[in-house]
Amino acid sequence: MLDDLTNRIYEAAFVPDLWPDVLEDIDSVSGSVGGAVFLFGDDQPARGRAIQFLQDLQRELLASDTLQFSTAVSRMCALQPASFVDVEAFLTPDEIENDPVRQRLRAMGIGAHACTAIPMPSGELAIFVFQRRLGEGSYDQKSLDVLDSLRPAMARAGLIAGRLGLERAEGTVTAMTAMGLPAAVLSLKGRVMVANALFESLSSLFLPTAFGGMAIADAEANRLFQQAIVAARNDLEPTVRSIPVQGVESRSPMILHMLPLRRSAHEIFSGADILVAATALSASSLVPSPTLLAGLFDLTPAEARLATALSQGHALKAAAAGSKITEKTARTYLERIFAKTGTRQQSQLVALLKSAGPFG
């Protein structure tokens, strides 16, 4: 069921009218009754989608300045948790009682909130929030784990939804232009069907191959990319969906994100099966780096905590102690992190998480 739901999350990135139904299905597997996605940008008004029950309230909040006076919203935007968290754990009872958004929701029978914030390398901040009925208590760890298992798909879908402005992609050419990111769509055989001008300008990073295929100049990134193509062709889950690509010549390193195109998205892109979109590792007022990359590389919360500690310069032993795990467990986590990020050494991982230029 979660595999199908993951594909529907990706589909909603291109067909935003599907978000209400998708959010309701996430409610069903996480013990929630409410759900919404919000997109905040440096120079754009806040946008969002919600389940049907909350749509009128969301439209009202987005049209007013109520969100900016919400302690819960501002707290989550500042904290930018790298996993879903119980929002109440970060608020005092008075803050919960007096928050204007929470007051409105309580009147509708909504209680506890679970939230994650996903900063995008292109500048947007996507916030996903789910709620329980008033009186049902806080989110348990099992429900948070279910939400976290879907978070990487939410992150990649949020990247596309943010670039399209939560508007429907009305065709291959217009979608590729509107995204404002280097992007190409591929068949299951890896043949490039369409690429936009931004992607074609990166000819030193992405190379044409025989029969209309493509390769990546960085050999390690190309290995992961070709593995992902084979996995998609055989309807398997690829080990890595976001691939670090080393910079060459004057090019900065990039992250290549791979999204499956299913159902309506498959039709929008004229029968293509995979969308690849590249994002540069560049700073933004909304991008704190480890949080973003932890989500996009499918790290678990425990792996994300360890990766963040390492990116802050801590040795593995100290990072393990700070995460309250043994050094042996930390080494196991580190091997998983290497596999998911396509890195092989701690120095490469740290450079990637800090967005600090080409990998060692």
With H, G, I as helix, E, B as strand and everything else as coil, classify residue 120.
Answer: coil
Q: Which of 191, 198, 157, 156 is nearest to 176 (CA)?
A: 198
User: Using CA atoms, how far apart are residues 71 and 197, in angstroms rounded to an integer?
Assistant: 42
User: Using CA atoms, how far apart are residues 269 and 264, in angstroms rounded to an integer?
Assistant: 9
Q: Which residues of the chain fall short of a pLDDT of 70?
A: 1, 121-122, 239, 248-251, 281-296, 352-360
Q: Which of 48, 77, 80 is nearest to 64 (CA)?
A: 48
Residues near 356 by Cβ (< 8 Å), separated by ≥ 6?
350
Query: What integer pLDDT is reported at residue 356 of this predicted model?
Result: 33
Would the pTM of this model clear 0.85, i.e. be above it? no
Query: What integer pLDDT is reported at residue 209 of this predicted model?
Result: 93
Query: What integer pLDDT is reported at residue 291 of this predicted model?
Result: 60
Query: What integer pLDDT is reported at residue 234 of this predicted model?
Result: 87
Contact 115, 76 (CB under 8 A): yes
What length is written for the chain?
A: 360
Burial label for 40, CB within 10 Å (0-12, 13-18, 19+), is: buried
Q: Chain-centre distance of CA 349, in angstroms?
A: 19
Strand segments (E) across 120-188? 125-133, 183-186
User: Using CA atoms, how far apart are residues 340 and 31, in angstroms rounded to an integer?
Assistant: 29
Complete DSSP assignment for 21-58: HHHHHHHHHHT-SEEEEEEEETTEEEEEEE-GGGHHHH
Reported as a single tens digit per residue, the pLDDT across 171-211 is 898 899 888 889 999 999 999 999 999 999 998 899 999 98
Specify the amino acid at residue 114. Answer: A
Strand-pairing partners, residue 186, are 192, 274
Domains of the chain (ranges; CATH) run 2-164 (3.30.450.80), 172-280 (3.30.450), 299-353 (1.10.10.10)
Contact 295, 305 (CB under 8 A): no
With H, G, I as helix, E, B as strand and everything else as coil, classify residue 297.
Answer: coil
User: Using CA atoms, how far apart are residues 9 and 313, in angstroms rounded to an integer?
Assistant: 35
What the block records as the tokens of 195 is 């690429």
Residues near 211 by Cβ (< 8 Å), separated by ≥ 6?
189, 191
Query: What integer pLDDT is reported at residue 311 of this predicted model?
Result: 77
What the block records as the tokens of 36 is 């919404």
Strand order in the sheet with 44-50: 44-50, 34-41, 125-133, 110-119, 85-86
Contact 330, 323 (CB under 8 A): yes
What the block records as the tokens of 278 is 């590249």
Q: Which of 106, 97, 102, 130 is nearest to 116 (CA)?
A: 130
CB atoms within 10 A of CB 194: 17
